[in-house]
Structure 1
Amino acid sequence: MKVFVVLVLALASASAGLLPQIAPVHPKDRSAAFSIEGRITNGEKAAENQFPYQVGLSFTSSGGSWWCGGSIIDNSWVLTAAHCTSGASSVTIYYGATVRTSPKFTETVASKDFIQHANYLSLTVRNDISLIKTPKIAFSSAVGKIALPAIAGSYSTYVGDTAVASGWGLTGDKENAVAPDLNFVSLKIIANSVCQQTFGSLIVTNNVLCVETTNAKSTCQGDSGGPLALKDVLIGITSFGSAQGCEAGYPAAFTRVTSYLDWIKTNSGVSA
């Protein structure tokens, strides 16, 4: 199992605020002491067709398999996290599922059709974003795309806004059975300066967006790569959280989509 490298926290010579006070970990890489598959903790069950842009991603490699989420951004493109595609040989995409094991249809895609950011760096969670080129699909009430933010000269920080994350999996850190249903949770976006108090400025750069996780509501293992949406616009890709657990109350972090709009357009042709 690919385990996110825990950064050295005891370096006395490190600048204050540079390294994390709490180790970050990708949701898909949490140890068995917490969850081995994941979903939104303490969220709500999604209604049928509520999140038509949400896909489930079942990755395989020579060393095993893992589950992530993703977002449909066009009828032949899915956006997810680089830590999900990294090391995978193929992925089966679950379209239109509310019950995780009952999608409307699936497509299997080989790694040759993955476009992982060339500068993805797992150690500091840099450029945690990938595209998956898919067979052209037909949209319906159950399967559809989510809009990207418009390319602009400047963007909102979204601080104070409440966005919606969605995904499948366990209901909490101590659970050991995968929940069958798609769940969602509303999460308040916080300033990066606040998030840096937990994860440090080396990890929380301008390309990261963070949310607070009050009342043990958060993304969790298996939600990796899934969407964070604000008013039906994709603003974040589930990237990492605290190694202390999904319900520990520390911020959860996402790849900030507005930082990668040019990269997305260059590699897929897709824009708002």
Structure 2
Amino acid sequence: MKLVLLILFVATACARTSPDRTAPYTDGPQERIVNGYPAEEGKAPYAVGLRMNNGAVGAGSVIGNTWVLTAAHCLTTDSVTIHYGSNRAWNGQIQHTVSKDNFFRHPGFGNSAGHDIGLIRTPHVDFTNLINKVSLPTFSQKGERFENWWTVACGWGGMASGNLANWLQCMDVQIISNDECARSYGSVASTDMCTRATDGKSVCGGDSGGALVTHDNPIQVGVIVFASGGCKNGPSGYTRVSDHLDWIKENSGIAY
């Protein structure tokens, strides 16, 4: 049974081709991660804002001096401008525009669920207190499902009438089992993961591609890819990073 998500298609969200996913989005006053909190400067130095040349927006995470991890559905355009080093996504300390020749989408994307993950090769960026990488799981953690771990997800999502959140929003959420997630969505790919929608917390439109990072010994365990209709009524969904470590190493050389 295919995963059916009650999500609105929005032209200004990250472009995508998969029939089983669409970039999460909600209309109304909460034009950001729903029921999140404003991040202090430097809370997520790995977080970058993405503006695609087709008008779409999304997010990503710095995983090396020349690499950004994001969702594959955010890489279906000719170029992307990456904004680094500020909680104001579109006013970063550094900006780089990168062409599609530097995009790497997982070969499973568009063919089966659970592979919505991509890489951007970037010009070299030096690390500072406001720009830094996030670590990935180690190869010894490939079988770890991270159930019940507490995590943080941050982003600038939401696009009503062209408006974006102008300050980074974050939410603290707990990873749940795929069985629990499937009770909301019918089925969930093993290479996806979900967080519980406690107190209505959810990722939403424009957050796509952002990182889900563990609280303790921070590592990126997920890439934001889906949410429920209205972004308040069900779990948030992510591509599972630990299941794609070989692919990330093969294309970027980054491994732990």
- Structure-1-length-normalised TM-score: 0.82
How many aligned residue pairs are there? 244
Q: Shift of the alpha carbon at 1:38? A: 5.5
2:17: which partner in 1?
Answer: none
Q: Are 2:61 and 1:71 equivalent residues in the alignment?
A: yes
Whole-Å separation in 2 of the counterparts to 1:114 and 1:137: 17
Q: Shift of the alpha carbon at 1:72? A: 0.4
Maintained 8 Å contact 2:142/2:242: no
Q: Shift of the alpha carbon at 1:25? A: 6.5
1:6: which partner in 2?
Answer: none
Q: Shift of the alpha carbon at 1:176? A: 7.5
Whole-Å separation in 2 of the counterparts to 1:197 and 1:57: 32
1:190-269 alignment, distance < 5 Å: 190-201=176-187, 204-230=188-214, 231=216, 232-242=218-228, 244-248=229-233, 250-269=234-253
1:105: which partner in 2?
Answer: 94
Gaps of 5+ in 1: 1-17
Q: Are 2:103 and 1:117 equivalent residues in the alignment?
A: no
1:52: which partner in 2?
Answer: 45
Q: Shift of the alpha carbon at 1:198? A: 2.0
Q: Are 2:121 and 1:133 equivalent residues in the alignment?
A: yes
Whole-Å separation in 1 of the counterparts to 2:65 and 2:125: 5
- Structure-2-length-normalised TM-score: 0.87
Whole-Å separation in 1 of the counterparts to 2:207 and 2:58: 6
2:152: which partner in 1?
Answer: 164
Whole-Å separation in 2 of the counterparts to 1:162 and 1:174: 30
Whole-Å separation in 1 of the counterparts to 2:101 and 2:31: 26
Maintained 8 Å contact 1:38/1:222: no
Amino acid paired to 1:117 = H
Gaps of 5+ in 2: 15-21
Maintained 8 Å contact 1:20/1:198: no
Q: Shift of the alpha carbon at 1:217? A: 0.9
Whole-Å separation in 2 of the counterparts to 1:25 and 1:236: 22
SS at match of 1:169: coil
Maintained 8 Å contact 1:56/1:93: yes
Q: Larger C-alpha radius of gyration, 1 or 2?
A: 1
1:5: which partner in 2?
Answer: none
> Alpha-carbon deviations, 1:94-127, whole Å to 9, x = none?
00021223211100000000011122117x5331
> Alpha-carbon deviations, 1:146-195, whole Å to 9, x = none?
0010012753211111110000134xx98984221001000111110111
1:83: which partner in 2?
Answer: 73
Whole-Å separation in 1 of the counterparts to 2:141 and 2:23: 37
- Identical counterparts, % of pairs: 35
Greater fraction strand: 1
Going from structure 1 to structure 2, the CA distance change for 1:108 and 1:153 (only over 3 Å counts) comes to closer
Whole-Å separation in 1 of the counterparts to 2:141 and 2:219: 18
Please tell me the root mean square deviation across aligned C-alpha atoms, in Å.
Answer: 2.5
Amino acid paired to 2:223 = I
Q: 1:34 aligns with which of 27, 33, 40?
A: 27
Whole-Å separation in 1 of the counterparts to 2:78 and 2:5: 32
Q: Are 2:31 and 1:43 equivalent residues in the alignment?
A: no
